[in-house]
Amino acid sequence: MKKADYMPRTDFADEVITSIGEFEHYNRIEKKMPNMKMNWVKVFNDENEFKKQKGDYITLEYKQMDDALLRDGISEEVVNCLDQLTSEIVVNKVLVVGLGNKEMISDAIGPKTAEQILVTAHLFENHQDVGDGVSNCAAIAPKVMGQTGLESARIVKGVVDFYQPDLLITVDALATNTLSRINRVVQISNTGIVPGSGVGNHRLAINHETMQVPVIAIGVATVTTIGAIVHDVLNEECELKHDQLDCIVTPRSMDIECDQIASILSKSINCFIHPDYESM
């Protein structure tokens, strides 16, 4: 199979746009910072060449996260992105959803993040004094269809209908077409997410249309494919078939880096929801 015949799977808007060139249906802004690069892609309409939903896609690509100060810097930028994408929403109640399978390390980002969220909904429900700088927040990790027999989106919808949040934040693992970006890029969008899309296992979407509430989707590149490695690294023709090229690959360091990323994202979300979180 020729390289040109195979297009590696990716969930990242900036990778799709880079691979197909410039078009009139979007705007792209790039900003470089120490240890980090931000790409903000704004898609103007649903009918476009790269098949992305209308809305904003912000990617934060970082070089390192081993140091606590570097992780704090990433967290601060994620909070900034959340603030900008929700600037026109009055947010009093937030539901955080950790999508994925905690038993599979490359898909554990969502559940690991959700379990570190400072939940307060029960305190507000019981009319307890929570103090200033603490908001109404609930968090769930609905697992995957193979564990529950139910679409994740249907479980989330049930909780949304009961809890009635002003904002829904999802966290999930995504696929990248660039090997060097695994665990090194976060995408934050206001377009929602399709659980399982990173591994080609599409489920019911979690977005404003299905949930009837604004949705911010946070995704981290945790996997790539053999085809992407051939396409990106070897830069040559490949004799493998499509089903072989689509085999999922994740690094050996995934367990350690998964915990680091979950720590970054949970801190970001906590700081966004609870303004006084760091002083608690």
When the pLDDT of each residue in the chain is averaged and rounded to a whole number, the result is 86
pLDDT reading at 1 higher than 50: no
DSSP 34-83: TTEEEEEEEE--S--TT---SEEEEEEEES--SSHHHHHHHHHHHHHHHH
Structure tokens at 4: 């040109």
DSSP SS3 for 249:
strand
Upper half-sphere CA count for residue 256 (Cβ side, 13 Å): 5
% pLDDT > 70, the chain: 82
At residue 140, the pLDDT reads 98
At residue 41, the pLDDT reads 93
d(CA 101, CA 147): 9
At residue 225, the pLDDT reads 72
Confidence of residue 252 (pLDDT cuts 50, 70, 90): confident
Find the range with the poorest average confidence among 24-33, 70-79, 109-118.
24-33
DSSP SS3 for 7:
coil
Higher pLDDT, 241 or 139: 139
At residue 233, the pLDDT reads 58
Quick: pLDDT tens for 54-70.
Answer: 999 999 999 889 899 99
At residue 26, the pLDDT reads 85
Look up tokens 């999802």; give the residue. 170
Confidence of residue 167 (pLDDT cuts 50, 70, 90): very high
Higher pLDDT, 2 or 206: 206
Report which residue type is found at 126: N
As to burial, measured by CB atoms within 10 angstroms (0-12 exposed, 13-18 middle, 19+ buried), residue 257 is buried
Report pTM.
0.89
At residue 23, the pLDDT reads 64
